[in-house]
C-alpha cells in the first residue's frame, strides 16, 4: 500500500449477499471511478484549478473537468463576450454579449454540475502573470489557453518551482497542440479487487517518463493498425 493509502481508503461496504453498497457519489460517478479509482476521484474533488482565458478551447476543457466533479475552478479572462464568441463557444449566448466572458462561462459551466464551486476573475492573464505570478501558487493545476510565450515562460518557471502542473493549450481552427509541463514523478496506481469476503490491492509503480514511453508505444501500435485498416479498405 502506498504512503498515501489508509485503512479508510481500503474499506468497502458489502451487503450479506455480496453486493457492494455504493454511496451517492459512487453511484453518480461510477463510470469514471472505474477508470481512476476512488483515490483518483478523491484527488479530483479536492482540486482547485485555474483556467486562463474563456474561449472555446478553455470552455470545452473546463467542461470535461466539471462533469466528473472537480472540486473548484477559477476562470481568469479580461474579455467581454462578443458576437464572434456566439459562433464557436457553447457557453455563451446573445443575452450576455457585452458582459464579462469569464463570468458568463463560469455561470453556464457551473449549471452542468452544481456540486462544483465556480469562480471567475475579470483580468488579463498576461498582465496578472507579470504583476503577481504568485497568485497561481494556490492552485493544484493551471490550464493556460491561447497564452503567448512571453507569458507562458515565467508562469511555467514559477509553477515548476512550486511543483504545480501547467497545461498549455493552443488551437487554430480544427488543429492545435497540448503541452504538459510537470516535473518527473512516480505514480502509484492501486487496483482494488473486491469479493464478499476479501479485498486485494495491486500496486503498479512507474514514473512519468515510463508512462510516456508506454503511451508512445500504444500510439505507434494504433497508427500501424489504422494504416493497415485503410490499406485493406482501399483494395
* Domains of the chain, each with CATH number or no CATH: 7-42+185-234 (no CATH), 47-181 (3.40.50.720)
The DSSP symbol for 137 reads G
Half-sphere exposure at residue 100, Cβ-oriented, CA atoms within 13 angstroms:
15
pLDDT at 172: 86
Rounded to the nearest 10°, the torsion over CA 53, 58, 62, 64 is: 180
CA distances from 81 to 63, 89, 172, 233 (A): 18, 10, 20, 46
Burial 89-102 (b: 16+ CB within 10 A, else e): bebbeeebbeebbb
Helices 149-161 and 125-132: angle between axes, nearest 10 degrees: 50
Distance in angstroms (rounded) separating the CA atoms of residues 90 and 81? 12
Q: How confident is the model at residue 179 (pLDDT cuts 50, 70, 90)?
A: very high
Q: Is the pLDDT of residue 194 over 60?
A: no
Q: Is the pLDDT of residue 192 over 80?
A: no
Q: How confident is the model at residue 183 (pLDDT cuts 50, 70, 90)?
A: confident
Furthest-apart CA pair in the chain: how many Å? Answer: 61
The arithmetic mean of pLDDT across residues 185-212, rounded, is 54
Q: Check residues 223 and 10 and name the one with the higher pLDDT.
A: 223
Residue count of the chain: 235
Q: For the whole prediction, is pTM greater than 0.95?
A: no
Percent of the chain with pLDDT over 70: 69
Cell of 154: 515565467
CA distances from 184 to 168, 181, 221 (A): 17, 10, 25
Amino acid at each position: 500500500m502506498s504512503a498515501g493509502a489508509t485503512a479508510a481508503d481500503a474499506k468497502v461496504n458489502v451487503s450479506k449477499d455480496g453486493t457492494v453498497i455504493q454511496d451517492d457519489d459512487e453511484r453518480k460517478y461510477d463510470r469514471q471511478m472505474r477508470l481512476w479509482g476512488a483515490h483518483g476521484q478523491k484527488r479530483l474533488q479536492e482540486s482547485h484549478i485555474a483556467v486562463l482565458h474563456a474561449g472555446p478551447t478553455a470552455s470545452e476543457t473546463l467542461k470535461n473537468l466539471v462533469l466528473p466533479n472537480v472540486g473548484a475552478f477559477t476562470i481568469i479572462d479580461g474579455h467581454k463576450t462578443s458576437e464572434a464568441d456566439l459562433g464557436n463557444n457553447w457557453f455563451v449566448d446573445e443575452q450576455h454579449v457585452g458582459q464579462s466572458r469569464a463570468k458568463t462561462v463560469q455561470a453556464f459551466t457551473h449549471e452542468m454540475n452544481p456540486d462544483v464551486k465556480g469562480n471567475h476573475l475579470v483580468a488579463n492573464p498576461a498582465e496578472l502573470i507579470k504583476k503577481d505570478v504568485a497568485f497561481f501558487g494556490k492552485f493544484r493545476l493551471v490550464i493556460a489557453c491561447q497564452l503567448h510565450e512571453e507569458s507562458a515562460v515565467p508562469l511555467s518557471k514559477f509553477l515548476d518551482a512550486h511543483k504545480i502542473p501547467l497545461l498549455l493549450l493552443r488551437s487554430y481552427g480544427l488543429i492545435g497542440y497540448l503541452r504538459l509541463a510537470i516535473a518527473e514523478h512516480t505514480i502509484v496506481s492501486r487496483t482494488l479487487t473486491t469479493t464478499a469476503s476479501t479485498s486485494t490491492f495491486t500496486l503498479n509503480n512507474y514514473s512519468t517518463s515510463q508512462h510516456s514511453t508506454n503511451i508512445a508505444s500504444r500510439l505507434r501500435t494504433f497508427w500501424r493498425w489504422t494504416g493497415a485498416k485503410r490499406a485493406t479498405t482501399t483494395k
